[in-house]
Amino acid sequence: MFGPFSRYTSPYLRLVVAGVIAIAVAQAAAALIPLELGSAIDALGEPSPESLSVVGVHMARVLLLALLVAVGGYAMRRLLGSASTRIEYDIRTKYFDHLLTLPLSFYQTQRTGDLMARATNDLNAVRIFFTYGIRGIFETSLIFVFSITMMCSMDWKLSLWVLTPLPLMSLFIIRMASLVHTRFKAIQEFFGEMSNFIQENVSGIRVIKAFVQGPAQTEQFQDLNIEYLRRNNELIRTRAVYRPLSFLIASLGLGLNLWLGGKAVIDGQLSIGDFVAFNAYLTLLIQPISYMGWVIDRFQRALVAMRRINEILEIEADIEDAGGIAGDGHKTAGQLEFKGVGFSYGDQLQALRGIDLTIRAGSTLGVIGRVGAGKTTLARLIPRLVEATEGEILLDGKPLQAWPLDELRQHIGYVAQVPFLFSTTMATNIAYGSAQADREQVHQAGEEAQVGADIEAFEQGYETVVGERGVTLSGGQKQRTTLARALLRRPSILILDDALSAVDTNTETAILGHLRQIMADRTTILIAHRISTLRNADHIIVLDEGRIVERGSHEQLLAQDGFYADLARRQQLAAELDNL
């Protein structure tokens, strides 16, 4: 039953067992209280000089038992509460850590909103069960065991009669558990869809406003919200039946006890005190019967939620790490060799094929081609953000797979096509991944990326907090900030994936001038659509449909009169027209 949870509960088994023992002590003490009350009532039913002292003894025992109940209850809450919070912490940490290990291909097929729903709504369902549900399971189970044991010890025939409704209750509980599981699973899955819709709308708010689609998006969300409401109402209707019906079934037992137990008292087979105690035990059973519905509900919710979380945790990263210690002092010259490299996204069209290329250490490679030619894929292969499906790539003569992944990536400064900034200060964004960088180094990187003057113009300078994804900055400012982040690391290999597309030509010229000085003895890969970005590269390749179709220096490619030369003429003509 606890299969999906066992891997998280096992480290805290001692706490759980101690908590269960505390529950057992509390419930055993509680089970003796009605017996003491019954004995006291019987003592009062036969007045004698000693009756008051006998009642006093029973009263003292009740108080002692009550103290045991209180101490056991406190210990149980402390122990199980501590275990539940640690389990929640472990699951949340493991989920987050695992997300960071999954490859880019995973995120290309998963919706952000659904991943967030699993980390919040699903984890909350698990937390509630661990905090209250486990306690409820053991409490209700022990109440059943102790109460029924005491009832049978007093009158087993009467116990059989008054407990006849229990099998009916068991069938009802099994049916309810199945319905709750099915309907809550539907709710959680749909909640993921709603979360994804909200996340997309927040991220795309500029487009929504620009195209005046606010009312249309509201209408779509209303449809989603109505469906979510409908699914919740189905679960509510299922749960609403349980408590009244369980109370009715339990009341049948009370009715039988009043009739048959009363008859036993009249016939002299049962004392008044035992009758009261018997009735108290039967009353004790009503609360756990009703509570069991809530426990089942929470258990089924947690079961669905845990399985949804485990679906992600069981996905294995498709990029293997060679291990070792990252940053162990090993230096790299930065020479890269591609030998028959190919890559395909699943069963889709092959993005790269038959790439044979050598990038000398300290040289600059320019990469150009049409949209979808495979330029970004080529860049992602080097830091192993994606894995080549054919051939191999060597760094300093060593296959990339032989390098410890962290160490490999520490040698590479990768500036993606779409810049990403965190919602923190400019300084923190630039220093991201360079924990040892001081203020002067951060400022120097900003100047080298031609973004320092922009940052200094802000009221808070480098301490200016940018919005989520750098929403408060222009496209060019974001690109230059991410470039500064890469330059700060002084990488052996710098990869710019169309990272200067949003800056003007003058700024681009200044940045490239700085790069030639900074990366003089380092390997640089420039991916661009503008010829002006690549003209000073040592070697340039032209990609088309995943293949290298042209290669050479700027002058050599112009002489070949192919795609590169044609693009150069068109861009030159466009520049001349702009100057008219």
Domains and CATH numbers, the chain: 3-313 (1.20.1560.10), 329-411+491-580 (3.40.50.300), 417-490 (3.40.50.300)
Measured CA to CA, the distance from residue 447 to residue 439 in angstroms comes to: 13
How far is residue 439's CA from residue 452's CA, in Å, rounded to a whole number? 13
| pLDDT score, position 49 | 67
The DSSP-derived string for 127-163 is HHIIIIIHHHHHHHHHHHHHHHHHHHHH-HHHHHHHT
| pTM of the complete model beyond 0.85 | no
* Interacting residues of 251 by C-beta distance below 8 A, sequence separation 6+: 286
Report d(CA 172, CA 316) in Å as an integer. 40
pLDDT of residue 239: 72
CB neighbourhood size of 156 (10 A): 9
Query: By C-alpha distance, which of 288, 270, 45, 241 is closest to 161?
Result: 270
- Identify the CA nearest to 415 among candidates 480, 467, 477: 480
Q: Among 335, 373, 400, which residue's Cα sits nearest to residue 498?
A: 373
Neighbour count for residue 130 (Cβ, 10 Å):
27
Which phi and psi (to 5°) does residue 527 adopt? -110, 125
Strand partners for 493: 412, 523
Dihedral sign of CA atoms 153, 154, 156, 160 in order: negative
Burial status of residue 379 (CB atoms within 10 A of its CB: 0-12, 13-18, 19 or more): buried
Q: Answer whether 369's CB lies under 8 Å from 564's CB.
A: no
Cα–Cα distance between 520 and 468 in angstroms, integer? 35
Tokens (6 digits) for 467 = 């919005």
Long-range contacts of 40-46, Cβ-Cβ distance < 8 Å, separation of 24 or more: 40/273, 41/272, 41/273, 41/276, 42/271, 42/272, 42/273, 42/274, 43/273, 45/271, 45/272, 45/273
| Helix ranges, 257-369 (H) | 262-266, 272-313
- Rounded to 5 degrees, φ, ψ at 176 are -65, -40
What pLDDT is recorded for position 238?
77
Measured between alpha carbons, how far is 367 from 539 in angstroms, rounded to an integer?
9
Least Cα distance to 513 among 464, 448, 465 occurs for: 448
Q: Could you tell me the CA-to-CA distances from 406 to 157, 315, 330, 488 in Å, in that order?
A: 72, 21, 12, 17
Q: What are the backbone dihedrals phi and psi of residue 253, each rounded to the nearest 5 degrees, phi first? A: -65, -40
How many other β-carbons are positioned within 10 Å of the β-carbon of residue 261?
24
Instruction: List the structure tokens of 67.
Output: 């103290």
Sheet containing 547-552: order of strands: 412-415, 493-497, 523-527, 364-369, 539-544, 547-552
Looking at residue 47, its pLDDT comes to 65
Q: Per residue in 112-153, pLDDT tens?
A: 878 888 888 888 888 888 888 888 888 888 888 888 888 888
* Interacting residues of 340 by C-beta distance below 8 A, sequence separation 6+: 354, 355, 356, 390, 391, 392
Could you give the CA distance from residue 53 to residue 47 in angstroms, rounded to a whole number?
A: 11
Which letter does DSSP use for residue 121 in this model?
Answer: I
* 175 within 8 A of 169, measured Cβ to Cβ: no
* Spans of the chain, pLDDT less than 70: 1-3, 45, 47-49, 51, 170, 177, 242-243, 250, 290, 293, 322-330, 347-348, 469-470, 578-580
Alpha carbon 84 to chain centroid distance? Answer: 18
Instruction: Please report the pLDDT score of residue 275 as a whole number.
Output: 79
The Cα 222–Cα 230 span in angstroms is 12
In degrees and rounded to multiples of 5, residue 37 shows phi and psi of -65, -40
The alpha carbon dihedral of 206, 207, 212, 216 has a sign of negative
DSSP 258: I
